[in-house]
A and B are shown apart, each in its own frame.
Chain A
Amino acid sequence: MRVTLGMSTDETLQNLNNQQEQIDTLSQEISSGVSLIAPSDNPESWSQAMNTTQNIREYNSFVSNINFGTGWGQATESALNQLSSLVTQAKSVAESAGSAEGSAESTTLASQVGGILSQALNIANTQYNGQYIFSGTATDTQAYTMDTSTGAVTYNGNLDYIKIKTATGISSAITPPTSSEAGGGMTSVNLTGQDVLGGSTSGGGSNVLNDIWNLQQALANNNSSGVNTAITALGNDFNQINTQLGSIGTTLSGLTSQQTALSTVITNEQGVLSNYQDTDVASATVSMSKAQAVYQAALEVTSTLDNMNLPSILSG
């Protein structure tokens, strides 16, 4: 093939340019630590990396929800334990009233029960992070108010459950809010006042606070049949609270196992993401030094070629 001036210069220029481009890409990959700089580097990996990034974000939101749920559950658990021991105390006061010998002693017992009542009311209005834990979803509303003279207990919360997302999933069809069924990765973290204390929202029926108040009244009036009724009622209350303690325990252990599973999943996904987008520094460095060697060789050849022509030899 006849080799002319234009050929050798054009070819040299293009080859040097290609080498430089390769070195540029590699140095960008090594310095940024990321091999996917634009979607065009690898469109499939890029979109997978996007989805994985978003999955990790969603999993982290589950972790934050689980932490919230765990804190809430622990606050509920400790409130129920205290309530349970108050009910036990009230019950033992009532049982000791059977042997009470006079109205003076009964009055003392009644005031003791009064103290228990106000503590129980405080527990019913327990707050976690400024939220009333027994008010359903109306967490900014104090759960219970009580008129101690009439014994009327008012539940100010609602019967809804706070549902947090702790796993991927879809709860039924996406529709405007009409129903409130759980499922689809949702965990319900709270117990409503009604679950814990019994009774109805309107304040009707008998709940733990009513029962304690009734005991207080029976003791104050020295009404022994009233005290006996109260003992039975408090026994039922104790069982009710323990059942709820069991249910909150189940929720808490469920959250803990979900968290353990999630941390494994997140670690895996981060590994996947890293595979998609991180530079394999070792192989990039090797490629870089190879490209450098080739570039230097190309430059040397170019400078040698520069002198290899007849005119320069003839002119000595």
Chain B
Amino acid sequence: MNIDELLDDLPRVEASAAFKQDLMDQIPHSNIGHSNAGIMNKLTPIVMAASLACGLFLGLTDMDILNTALGGLGLAVDDTVIAGEWASSVSPYATTFDVL
């Protein structure tokens, strides 16, 4: 008696299309599109540096624009405001350089 021939009669269980779809549905969403996040991570410092340079340039002439630029960079707006208030309390004529 050949056992391997006998084993050929053992039914093979196949995953159904619905089961495979279930498995796909269970993939954590955080993983899909992760590569885009990776690109963003690489780009962020460049974007930040460019925005900061732009903000500094504009901020030399207008405090509101500087605050907007810093807020746009994702820096804490509150901190900027506090820093601005502190600078104002030190001198009513505080310049952009005082704030920075």
Do A and B come together as binding partners?
no
Contacts from B to A (Cβ < 8 Å) = none
